[in-house]
Structure 1
Amino acid sequence: QEATGDYSTAGWAAVHAAWACDDQNAQEASRLCRLKAIQLFQEANGASNLSQTGAQEAFKFDPSKVPDLPEPRPMFEIFVYSPNVEGVHLRGGKVARGGLRWSDRIEDYRTEILGLLKAQMVKNAVIVPVGAKGGFVAKQAEGIECYKTFIRGLLDLTDNFIEGQIVPAHNVVRHDDDDPYLVVAADKGTATFSDIANEIAKEYNFWLSDAFASGGSSGYDHKKMGITARGAWESVKRHFREIQVNIQTQDFSVIGIGDMSGDVFGNGLLLSQHIKLLAAFNHLHIFLDPNPNPQKSWEERQRLFNLPRSTWADYNPKLISEGGGVFSRKSKSILISPEVQAMLGIQAKSLKPNELIHAILCAPVDLLWNGGIGTYVKAQTEHHAEVGDKSNDAVRVNGQDLRCKVVGEGGNLGFTQLGRIEYAQNGGRINTDALDNSGGVDCSDHEVNIKILLNAIVANGDMTNKQRNHLLAEMTEQVSELVFKNNYLQTQAISIPLSIYPQMFDLHARFIRHLEKQGQLDRELEFLPNNKILAERRAAQQGFTSPELCILLAYSKISLYQALLGSDLPEDPYFRSILENYFPTPLPTRFAEEIAQHRLHREIITTQLTNLVINRGGIAFVYMLEEETGQTAPEIVRAFMVAWEVFDIEKLCLDIEALDNQINSQVQLKMIMSARQQIERASRWLLRHHRMPLDIAKTIETLRPGVTQLADSLDGAEPEDLEKLAQQLIEAGVPSELATRVAR
C-alpha cells in the first residue's frame, strides 16, 4: 500500500489489528489481517475519518470485539496513520486521560503504550477520569510536526460541545455513541508540547480549549511545582515514619536513578536537607560521593537543578568526598576506592560501568529514589526478555538482592510488579509507581476540571481570560495541598492492613475472588496470588505485600466508582459540599452555582466519594458490608456518610494525623483503625435497622443529638477498661482529650 500510495483506512485497520496481535507467524498474520479487516469494520469500527481531507487518516474501534488482541482491552482505540507518522490512543472509558508519548519503538509501540495504559488505569483510580495512553512514532518528518498530525487525527474523530449540544465530528462515518471527552497530557518526549496541542484544539474549536492538554503556558507547571516528586515523598516519609525515622530532621543515606536536571529526580532530592546522596547514575554518568556533607551537597544539587540541561559532570568536584567522583558510563573500567568499597559493601578494586551500577542498586542504604527512565529491578523468577527494556538488561538486578530499606518510585516502571513483591517479601518497604507518583495526574485532573469551570464563566462574560489565568496561578499551592492529601491518605490506606495483616487476609482474599468473578479483575495480569499461593500464605501466616495491596486498593476504587456512577447517588443534594470540596477554597465561595452545573459534576462527586469511603473505610469496606447485609454499594455509601458525620470522624482522624512524628506511628495507626471500626459498626447498624434508601441529611439530623448527648454523659464515668486504654494512649504521648475520645 505504501508503494501504491493507497493509505486507505480499511487497509491500515487490517494491518494494525494483525500487528497488534503480535503474531510472529507470517501465514497466520496474513489470515488475521483479512479477518480483522472484515471484523473491525463490520463489528468494531465506531468512527472513521475516511472522508476527511488532510494529511492523516484515523479510525476508532472497540477492542473488545476484536479477537486475539492482548489484555488489557481498552474501551476505545484510535489508530492514526500518515506517511510521516503513525500512532495509537487507548482509552479505558468515556471520561479518560493520560499522556501522549513520542515513542522510539517503531516496531512495537502499541505494546509499549498498552503496558503504560495498564499502569495508568491503576494510577487514575484516585482521579475523575479513568486511564488513557497514547503514543506515536515519527517516520519521515520532524517530531513536532508528527505530534501535530497525531493530535489532529485524534480530534478528527472526537465529538464536540457547541452551545450546550453534542455536535458529531465533521465528515466522519460514525457508528458509536456521543463521545466528546478527549483530554491529553505530556509524557516522554512531549513535555513541552501542551501549548501546541491546545492551539490545535482551538483551531478545531474544541469545547475544552486549553483544558485539552494540561500544563502549558496557562496551566500548572509540574516541574516548578515539584508536584510528582512531592507527592511521592509522602510515601517515602510514611515508610520512614513507620520505622521511627523523621527524614526531615534526621540524616539518611540515598542512592538514586536519574540526575538533577530531571523533574522527579531533581525535585525529589531537594525535599530534605538531610539527604546523604551516596551514589546516582543516569544514561551518561555515574556519581559517587561516599561521605557527603548533607548541607553542602544539598546546595550543590540545588545549583544543578537550576542549571539548564545540567549533568552529573557539572557537579563541583571539590565538594565530593574522598574516594568519590563522576565517571563516564563509556569508560572501559572504573577504579573503586576503599571508601566506595566500604559504601557499597564490595571488595572489587575495579568494575565496568554496568557492574558498578549493579553494585549501586544493591547498596546497603536507607533509600533508593527512582526518578529516571527504565526498568532496573525484576524478580528472580523473571527473564530479562519479559521485562521489555532491553537497554537496561545489563544493569538490572533482582528484588531479593536489594539492600535498601525503602524505595520511592517517583519515576514509572522502575520495577516490575513481581520485582516489587519479591523485594517486599524480603522486608523492603515499597508501594507501586502508580501509587507513589499519582500526584502528577491528580494535579492535571484538578487543572482540567478547574478550567472547564472557569472557561464556562469566561464564555458567559463574567471573567476575562487574563483574570482566569491570574486566579489559576493564585491557587497553585492550594491545588498542591489537595493533591498531597490524596497521596497521604492512599499510603495510610495501605499501611493499616499491613499492620494487622493476619486479621484482614481472608477478607482480602475473598474480595479478590469476588472481583475476578465479576469480570473486574484479572489476577494473572495484575500478578495477584492464585488460590494455591493464597493457601500457602495462609498456612505460613503471611499476608499480602504492599505492592499487592496497592493494586487491590486501585481495583476497589475502580469497582466502587463504576457502581456509584451508574446510580442516582451523585444526584443527592447532600453531596453538593463534596463537590465543592474538590475545588480550591476561593472557587466554592465565588462560584457555587457554576460548580453545581459543572459538566462533570457527577463524575467529580463519585470520585470524591470513592476516595473518601475506600481511604477511610478500607480496601474491602464496601464488599464486606455487601456480604454481611446484602445492601448495594450506593446504600453502603449513604450509611458511611451518616456515620462519618454523626460521629464527627473527620475531626477525629485529622487530630490523630496531626501527631505525625510526635508519637509512635503504630499507635497512630491503631487509633485510625479504631475510628474505622466506629464507621463499620455504625454503618452496619444503619444498614440493618433503617429503611432504605437512607435520607442522609435527615438521618444525620435525627441521630446526631443523641450521640452527642451520650458522649457528654460519659464524661468522668468511663468504664474501667476504657479508662485504662485512654491512660495507655496518654502515656504514649497522645493528648488527654484525644486519648479519651479514641478510647470511647
Structure 2
Amino acid sequence: MGITARGAWESVTRHFRELGIDVQEQDFTVVGVGDMSGDVFGNGMLLSEHIRLVAAFDHRHVFVDPDPDAAASFAERTRLFGLQRSSWADYNRSRISAGGGVWPRTSKAIPVSEPMRAALGIADGVETLTPVELIRAILLAPADLLFNGGIGTYVKASTESALDVGDKANDAVRVDGEQLRVRVVGEGGNLGLTQRGRVEYALTGGRVNTDAIDNSAGVDTSDHEVNIKIALNRVVDDGEIDAAGRAALLGEMADEVAVAVLTDNHDQNATLAVEASSARSLLDAHERFLRALERSGRLVRSVEALPDDRALTERRRDGQALTSPELSVLLAYAKLEAGDVVLQTDLPDDPALEDLLAGYFPTRLRERFPAAITGHPLRREIVGTALTNRAVNIAGTTGLFRLSQETGVPLDRVVRAHVVARAVFDVDRQWDAVGRLDNAVSATTQVELRTEATRLAERTARWLLRQPDLVADPAPPVAAVRDRFAASVAAVRAGLPDWLLGKEAEGYTARVARLEESGVPPERAAEAAAAPLLPAALDLAVVTERTGAPITLAGPVMQCLSERLGLVPLRELVLALPRDRRWPSMARASLRDDLAAETASLTEDVLGARGSDDDDPQELVGAWAEGWDATQARSAAQLGDIASGDRHELAELLVAVRTLRGLRKRRQARRIPRPAEK
C-alpha cells in the first residue's frame, strides 16, 4: 500500500501549500535519506512527478544529481523501484546531470564539481569531500524539502550531545536543527530528528511536524486491519466465509482503508495549520493546558521536550509561540485526555453516533456482514476514538479544555455539548468541505474557513452548556437536541441574508465578496460569512417556543431591534476585546453571550406585545419603543451615551450590556421549556 509514505506526503503537501506551492503542479527540489528499494523513501519519491531529487544517501551510497530533469529522473526512480533489489549504484548515469554521480560510502574522496557546489551550497574553494562530509552537505543543502525515509537520527538540537541522541552510528554525519536550510522536513521514517532538533529548526522558520504525525498512517492502517479481522473472526467461525474468501475480501478493501487513513493524516495537518496560525494568541491557553496536564500526572514536559514556564515567558517576550512540533505533541495529549473521559460516559452508545462505527469500516464489509460491525467487541472504543478525533480536530488542541475551564463544566459534558453543537449546525460537513479546496484557494483562506467552523461549534457548545436541561445527567440524546433546533436552524440559514440591516448587511455582503474573490465557491462563501451570526438561531428557537411567533418573524424583529438600539457595533466592540489571556478571554466570552441573551429577551418582549395580525418587524419594534416607561427610556438614553463615547473598554461595554437589561419587561428569569411543556 505504501501507506506510510503516502501519509507523510499529506504533511509535506500541507507545508508546501502554506508556502504557495502545489507539489503536483510545480517542480521543487528534494534531498533525502534512503534509496528507491526502501518502502518509505521509494514510495515517497514517486508521489509527485515534479520532484527534482538533488541528492540522497543510504548506508551504501551517496547520490547527487545537481540539476535533475523532473520527468527523466522520475522515470528512472520508477525503474529502480520496480527492480527486485536496487541501490543508487543501479541509477542510469546518463540520466544524472553534469557534475553529479554515485559514490560508495567507502570512498576516500569525492570530487566537488561546480554544479554540485551550487546545488548543495558548498563553500568555494572546497575541491573534495569525504562521504561523511558530503552527507552533511546534503543534510544542510538549501533545497525545498528534506525527506527522511531511512533509519537513524540525523538532526539534533545544538544544545544536545551525541550521547543525548543515542545513535552512535550516525554521530559523524548528524547536524543541528538551526543549521538546516531546507524549507520543509517530511518524516516518513522514525526518529530522523530529535524533538529538540525539530523545535530548534521550527524556531528558525522551518516547517516540520513530528514523526508521530507524519508517519502515523502505518499505525492507523494496522489498527483498521486488526479491527477488520476481529469483525471477520465471527464470520469465519460461523462458516459464512472461508480463509481464502477472507483474504480476498481484505485485498478488496485495501484502497478504501487507505482513503480513510490518509483522511486522518490530512485532517490532523489541517488542525495543526489552524492551531499554528493562532499560536501566539493561544499561548496563554497552551500554557494553562500544559500545567493542567502536569498536575494530572499525565505529562512530564522535559520528557516531551516542551518548554518550561521560563522558556514560555521568553517566547512571549520575543513574539514567539509554540512551534508545530510542540503543537503536534499537545494535539496527541488533547486526544488522550478527551478519549479517556468519553469512554467513561454513555456517549459512544448514543444511536446518533452509529455512523461513526459504520464509517470506520469499508463499504464491502458493511454491505456483506453488517452484523459483524454492529456486534464488534470493540464497538465503544472505535466510536469513542472516532468521536474524539473529530471533536479535537475541530475544536483545536485546547478548545475543549478552555470550554471546560471557562464554564466550570466537567470535560465529559463539554465533549457531549460539542458533539451536539456540531450536529445542530452540521459543522463536520462545513469543516470537511474545506479540504476539497486544497490548492484551489490559499492556505490562509482555508484556515479562515475552518476557523469559522471551529468558532461556530465552540459558541454553540458554550450556549448549550448554559442550559441546565440540555447538559443534565442523564442528558437528552444527541438526536433529540439536534431535531429540536433543526427547523429553526434551517429557517435562519435560509432567511438570514434577507433579514440583515444596515452595517451588518454590508459586512455580510463584503465577507461573501471577499471569500468569493479568494476562490471560495459562492455557496460555501455565503455559509462561512453567515457562521458568526448563526448561533442566534438557538435563541430564536427559544423565543418562538415561548411566544408562539414564527421564526420568520422573530428573526427580522431581532435584526430590527439590533439596528434600532445600535447592538451590532456594540457586539463588534465586544468581539474586539483582547482574548490572549484567560480572564480577558472569559470576560469577552461572557459579555458576548450576555449581549446575545439580552437581545433575545428584548425580542421576546417585542413579540409578546404584538397583536394577532401584527407581522411588520419595523412597526412592532417601533410600537414597543413608544411604550417605554421612564426606566426603559433612561436605559435607552444611557446606551446611546455609551455607544457615542470615546472609550470602549471592558468597563464601558460591561455597563452597556447591563443597561440593556433596563429595557426589558419585569418578569421572572427565562427558562428553556422542556419539549413536553411546549
Are the counterparts in 1 of residues 394 and 431 from structure 2 also a CA contact under 8 Å? no
Determine the C-alpha separation between the residues in 1 that align with 2:347 and 2:278: 32
Where 2:31 maps in the other structure, the secondary structure is strand
Q: 1:11-55 CA deviation, whole Å, 9 max, x = no partner?
A: xxxxxxxxxxxxxxxxxxxxxxxxxxxxxxxxxxxxxxxxxxxxx
TM-score when normalising by structure 1: 0.69
- Which residue does the alignment assign to 2:182? 404
The Cα of 1:735 is off from its aligned counterpart by 1.4
Determine the C-alpha separation between the residues in 2 that align with 1:335 and 1:675: 56
What is the one-letter code of the residue matched to 2:53? Answer: L
- Which residue does the alignment assign to 1:239? 15
Alignment equivalent of 2:341, drawn from 563, 566, 571 = 563
Where 1:471 maps in the other structure, the secondary structure is helix
- Which residue does the alignment assign to 2:453? 675
Determine the C-alpha separation between the residues in 2 that align with 1:716 and 1:349: 73
The 5-angstrom pairing of residues 46-445 of structure 1 reads 225-346=1-122, 347=124, 348-445=126-223
The 5-angstrom pairing of residues 644-723 of structure 1 reads 644-691=422-469, 692=472, 693-718=475-500, 719-723=505-509
Q: 1:646-694 CA deviation, whole Å, 9 max, x = no partner?
A: 1111222233221110111101111100110000000010111142224
- Which residue does the alignment assign to 2:529? 743
Determine the C-alpha separation between the residues in 1 that align with 2:238 and 2:96: 59
The Cα of 1:580 is off from its aligned counterpart by 1.1
Determine the C-alpha separation between the residues in 1 that align with 2:58 and 2:428: 44
The Cα of 1:695 is off from its aligned counterpart by 2.1
The Cα of 1:355 is off from its aligned counterpart by 0.6
What is the one-letter code of the residue matched to 1:726? Answer: V
Where 1:255 maps in the other structure, the secondary structure is strand
Are the counterparts in 2 of residues 638 and 694 from structure 1 also a CA contact under 8 Å? no
Are the counterparts in 1 of residues 434 and 449 from structure 2 also a CA contact under 8 Å? yes
Determine the C-alpha separation between the residues in 2 that align with 1:466 and 1:247: 40
The Cα of 1:723 is off from its aligned counterpart by 1.4
Where 2:302 maps in the other structure, the secondary structure is helix
Q: 1:594-647 CA deviation, whole Å, 9 max, x = no partner?
A: 212111111111110110101111111221111122222222222112221211
The Cα of 1:241 is off from its aligned counterpart by 0.4
Identity of aligned residues (%): 50
Are the counterparts in 1 of residues 350 and 477 from structure 2 also a CA contact under 8 Å? no
The Cα of 1:294 is off from its aligned counterpart by 0.7
| Runs of at least 5 residues in structure 1 that lack an aligned partner in the other structure | 1-224
The Cα of 1:339 is off from its aligned counterpart by 0.8
Q: Which runs of 4+ in 1 moved over 4 A?
A: none
Are the counterparts in 2 of residues 635 and 694 from structure 1 also a CA contact under 8 Å? no
What do you get for the CA RMSD once the two structures are aligned?
Answer: 1.1
The Cα of 1:535 is off from its aligned counterpart by 1.2
Where 2:159 maps in the other structure, the secondary structure is coil
The Cα of 1:534 is off from its aligned counterpart by 1.1
Deviates more, 1:386-395 or 1:461-470: 461-470
Where 2:151 maps in the other structure, the secondary structure is coil
- Which residue does the alignment assign to 1:507? 285
TM-score when normalising by structure 2: 0.76
Q: 1:189-217 CA deviation, whole Å, 9 max, x = no partner?
A: xxxxxxxxxxxxxxxxxxxxxxxxxxxxx
Are the counterparts in 2 of residues 261 and 309 from structure 1 also a CA contact under 8 Å? yes
Where 1:714 maps in the other structure, the secondary structure is helix
The Cα of 1:466 is off from its aligned counterpart by 2.0
The Cα of 1:591 is off from its aligned counterpart by 2.8
Deviates more, 1:634-643 or 1:544-553: 634-643
What is the one-letter code of the residue matched to 1:732? Answer: S
Total equivalences in the alignment = 520
1:622 and 2:404 aligned = no
Higher alpha-carbon Rg: 2
Determine the C-alpha separation between the residues in 2 that align with 1:595 and 1:412: 33
| Runs of at least 5 residues in structure 2 that lack an aligned partner in the other structure | 531-678
Deviates more, 1:506-515 or 1:653-662: 653-662
Where 1:327 maps in the other structure, the secondary structure is strand
Deviates more, 1:721-730 or 1:377-386: 721-730
Determine the C-alpha separation between the residues in 1 that align with 2:367 and 2:9: 31
Determine the C-alpha separation between the residues in 1 that align with 2:301 and 2:14: 28
Where 2:42 maps in the other structure, the secondary structure is helix
1:724 and 2:510 aligned = yes
Where 1:503 maps in the other structure, the secondary structure is coil
Determine the C-alpha separation between the residues in 2 that align with 1:517 and 1:637: 21
- Which residue does the alignment assign to 1:81? none
- Which residue does the alignment assign to 1:552? 330
Where 2:146 maps in the other structure, the secondary structure is strand
The Cα of 1:587 is off from its aligned counterpart by 2.3
Determine the C-alpha separation between the residues in 2 that align with 1:655 and 1:309: 42
Q: 1:543-570 CA deviation, whole Å, 9 max, x = no partner?
A: 1000000000011111111111223322
Where 1:658 maps in the other structure, the secondary structure is helix
- Which residue does the alignment assign to 2:390? 612
Are the counterparts in 1 of residues 37 and 86 from structure 2 also a CA contact under 8 Å? yes
Determine the C-alpha separation between the residues in 2 that align with 1:584 and 1:634: 29
Where 1:501 maps in the other structure, the secondary structure is coil
Where 1:279 maps in the other structure, the secondary structure is strand
- Which residue does the alignment assign to 1:597? 375
Where 2:369 maps in the other structure, the secondary structure is helix
The Cα of 1:463 is off from its aligned counterpart by 1.9
Determine the C-alpha separation between the residues in 2 that align with 1:695 and 1:260: 53
What is the one-letter code of the residue matched to 2:106? Answer: K
Deviates more, 1:480-489 or 1:462-471: 462-471
Q: 1:231-269 CA deviation, whole Å, 9 max, x = no partner?
A: 100000000001110011100000010000000000000
Larger relative helix fraction: 2
- Which residue does the alignment assign to 1:176? none
Are the counterparts in 2 of residues 255 and 368 from structure 1 also a CA contact under 8 Å? yes
What is the one-letter code of the residue matched to 1:311? Answer: S
Are the counterparts in 1 of residues 216 and 265 from structure 2 also a CA contact under 8 Å? yes
Determine the C-alpha separation between the residues in 2 that align with 1:479 and 1:294: 31
The Cα of 1:475 is off from its aligned counterpart by 0.9
The Cα of 1:379 is off from its aligned counterpart by 0.4
Deviates more, 1:444-453 or 1:622-631: 622-631
Where 1:256 maps in the other structure, the secondary structure is strand
Determine the C-alpha separation between the residues in 2 that align with 1:441 and 1:527: 23
The Cα of 1:726 is off from its aligned counterpart by 1.1
The 5-angstrom pairing of residues 476-487 of structure 1 reads 476-487=254-265
